[in-house]
Amino acid sequence: MASASATGHNALLVSIVLLATVCACTAETPYAAGLSEDFYQKTCPQAASIVDAYVTKFLRKDRNFAGAFNRLQFHDCWVGGCDGSVLLNSTQTNQAEREAHVNFGLRGVAEVDQIKAALEHSCPGVVSCADILIMAARDATAKVGGPTWPVAMGRRDGVNSTSFMADSNLPFPVLNFSGLVANFAAKGFNAREMITLSGAHTIGRTHCNGILPHLYNFTGKDDATDTDPAMNKNFAVFLKKHCPQGNRTNTIFIDSTANTFDRAYYKNVLKGKGIFITDSALITNPAGKKVVTTFSKPGSAFFTEFAAGMVKMGNLGVLTGTEGQIRRTCQFVN
């Protein structure tokens, strides 16, 4: 199993790159061609309000669903672009993205279908599932105390979805700092943006499936004592009570204030209380630790940079114009 510490050479290289990079996160991010904030103004002017109303409804029932909507956008856009492919069901001849190992425990698909049904009733064949994901992630984040950001619409839905593509593109929770930097760089994001978007872990929950390597298989020994030595000892004991060795299905909040979008995630990471190896890895690099420390403090640019990162992510690999389709239901191609 991968170690959470970067090699000395890679750590030094990444530190130099990270410190030398002037972050453009606060600059205005241009939308991908074919997208605009008023895309549905004539064809479905009530689209945004319908999505907002349903997100409010879901969060009243379970405030922690904000994390699920954030995860859906990330897991969709990182695999072939923001085309709603993460929502598709498997078929007899194809295992879809949702069946990938890295998508274990993915939530929110049924809820997105409820939103889609309401939009189809109001504006048949107009609003894409891909756009619903973008709106829902923004609305949910803002409703639990996070930032808001402008969303440009006009994405169309893809028709291809494979578990192999998901497992090949999304970062597994055992990556070290260098691995994370490489994964995000492949999508056009720098190291600081990677640390910023990791802040989405301030909301949501996870199954023990992604935590076990951090607790019992950190160096590959696969035993009860093979725990990340940098993890807070009391926190490790706490996690092991909730995630006994071999138990992959129990759930646990990722953050100590998991129903509120705040800076607690970065504070926890600095205290050795990162849930995943990827969380703890952020401070194994000196420059990375400096960013985490900055974001943990009031008055930092975390909220602003997170919003910019989500806008930038929403531009990845979009289908527009006559590409793709507008699905009638989000789990099936037309």
Distance in angstroms (rounded) separating the CA atoms of residues 311 and 29: 7
pTM recorded for the entire structure: 0.88
Please say whether the beta carbons of 31 and 153 come within 8 A.
Answer: no
pLDDT band (50, 70, 90) for residue 9:
low
Residues of each annotated binding site for heme b: 201
121 is catalytic: no
Distances (CA, A) of 185 to 18, 46, 58, 178: 12, 37, 34, 10
Per-residue pLDDT, 258: 87
**The tokens of 144 are what?**
């639990």
Examine the pLDDT at 207 and tell me if it is beyond 60: yes
Residues of each annotated binding site for substrate: 171
Domains, the chain, with CATH or none? 46-204+254-311 (1.10.520.10)
Distance in angstroms (rounded) separating the CA atoms of residues 234 and 60: 33
Please write the tens of the pLDDT for every residue from 240-262: 999 999 898 999 998 889 899 99
3-class SS at 325? Answer: strand
pLDDT band (50, 70, 90) for residue 53:
very high
Examine the pLDDT at 192 and tell me if it is beyond 50: yes
Distance in angstroms (rounded) separating the CA atoms of residues 200 and 310: 10
Residue in this structure with the two tokens 């090949």, named with its chain if needed: 168
Estimate the crossing angle of helix 302-313 against helix 65-77, to 10 degrees: 50
Q: What is the mean pLDDT of residues 12-32?
A: 52
Distance in angstroms (rounded) separating the CA atoms of residues 160 and 324: 10
Per-residue pLDDT, 221: 84
Please say whether the beta carbons of 166 and 100 come within 8 A.
Answer: yes
Examine the pLDDT at 205 and tell me if it is beyond 70: yes
Point out the catalytic residue in the list 9, 75, 101, 214. 75
Distance in angstroms (rounded) separating the CA atoms of residues 121 and 136: 18
Examine the pLDDT at 139 and tell me if it is beyond 70: yes
Name which of 313, 316, 301, 312 is nearest 147 in CA terms: 301
Residues of each annotated binding site: 76, 79, 81, 83, 85, 97, 171, 201-202, 255, 257, 262
Residues of each annotated binding site for Ca(2+): 76, 79, 81, 83, 85, 97, 202, 255, 257, 262
Name which of 11, 314, 267 is nearest 155 in CA terms: 314
Estimate the crossing angle of helix 129-143 against helix 65-77, to 10 degrees: 140
Which residue type, as a one-letter code, is found at position 45?
P
